[in-house]
Amino acid sequence: MSGLGTTTGPVLACGEVRTCLLPNRDAVDERAAEGLLRLRADERVRLSRRPNRHAVSPDVLTGVDCRLPTATGARIRAVGTVTARAALVEGRVLQSTASFSLPADGPDRRQPWGYYLVRPGSLVPVGRLPEKSVREGFLTGSRQGELDVGSIAESLLARISRRHELLDHDAPLTTADTSLCWTASPTAAGEEASLHFTEAGDGLRIVELRLPPGTEPAAVAGLCEDLALHDWLLTTVADKLDGLRLGSDDRKAALKVLRPLVDHLLHLWMPRARVDRALTTPWEELEKNPGFSRQWNTLAQRIRDQLALQNLVRREEHGDALSTP
């Protein structure tokens, strides 16, 4: 497929990423990751071990014929396929992504399915696409009867979680799931790439991207998966530390919270590890404001300091006990 904003390419790409802790006591190994993510018999799970363990399922296509969300309430019909895939990071964090792209216009009438199937991951509007209205409508949220890619992503997570023979559903800590809803459109002449990130509450994040013409929609989806992963890590660790009592009377309770964070999450922070080099500018925006890595390093250091302090207090108490007549 041609990149965003090219002569034959889409003018808009949209998607949603769901991120959660894999419901298993321990991180799964490579073999189990393959079993969980084998969504199609005709295509293998993609595995990589550097710079960390990462497994990606084959793409799964969902055919749709429905109205698109619009900010103006205009009834815009689109037909085609939504691409969905799942990824597992270090055998510990599970993500699912559903995404599609849209051209500026399509045929005035609905075509046979063969016309759309040769355009995987693309929805073709019937007539001209009101790009701004659809972009704003998608970020606002779909109404009844309109396309809901979040439900496609959620269905894929449920499909993987139901594989009981590979999962024990005994997670080492309780965490909240997050959803990252994103759109990407091409920049105008002289305009720089940009990213607008909004934390909308209830686990929802909204990302609006402006990217150079020619950017591949698949690369955009990869960028948004990376953003979603690291936002989930920040959110999870910050929530666990919020209100945590660290006095001597609460030491055991505090350790029950801190140790799983060290064992299962702290080593996962690796922003831009698999992001297309052409898309580093949006990540740099987040590093400046709100400062993702700065926030993470502060949280991680707080955890390490508290564990060191807890250990020091324990040793002092143990020494006092030994010296008591």
> Please, are residues 193 and 281 in contact by the beta-carbon 8 Å criterion?
yes
The full DSSP string for 137-148 is HHHH-PPTTB--
Q: Which amino acid is at 146?
A: E
* Predicted TM-score of the model (pTM): 0.93
Contact present, 9 and 180 (Cβ < 8 Å): no
pLDDT value for 323: 45
Q: Residue 29 is encoded by which pair of tokens?
A: 């190994």
The model's pLDDT over 181-215, given as tens digits with 9 standing for 90+, comes to 999 999 998 898 899 999 998 899 999 999 999 99
Residues 6+ apart with CB under 8 A from 36: 28, 86, 88, 160, 163, 166, 167
Low-confidence ranges of the chain (pLDDT < 70): 1, 246-249, 318-325
Residue 58 burial by Cβ neighbours in a 10 Å radius (0-12, 13-18, 19+): middle
Q: What is the pLDDT of residue 252?
A: 78
Q: What pLDDT does residue 325 have?
A: 41
CA atoms of 161 and 254, how far apart (whole Å): 30
Secondary structure tally for the chain: helices H, strands E = 8, 10
Query: Which residues, other chains included, contact 30 with Cβ-Cβ below 8 Å and sequence gap of 6+?
Result: 47, 53, 55, 91
What are the phi and psi torsion angles at 153 (to 5°)? -65, -40
Taking a C-beta distance cutoff of 8 angstroms, is the pair 196, 207 a contact? yes
* pLDDT score at 247: 58
Q: Are strands 178-186 and 204-211 parallel, antiparallel or unpaired?
A: parallel
How many CA atoms lie within 13 Å of 136's alpha carbon, on the beta-carbon side? 8
> Rounded to whole angstroms, how far apart are CA atoms 35 and 58?
12
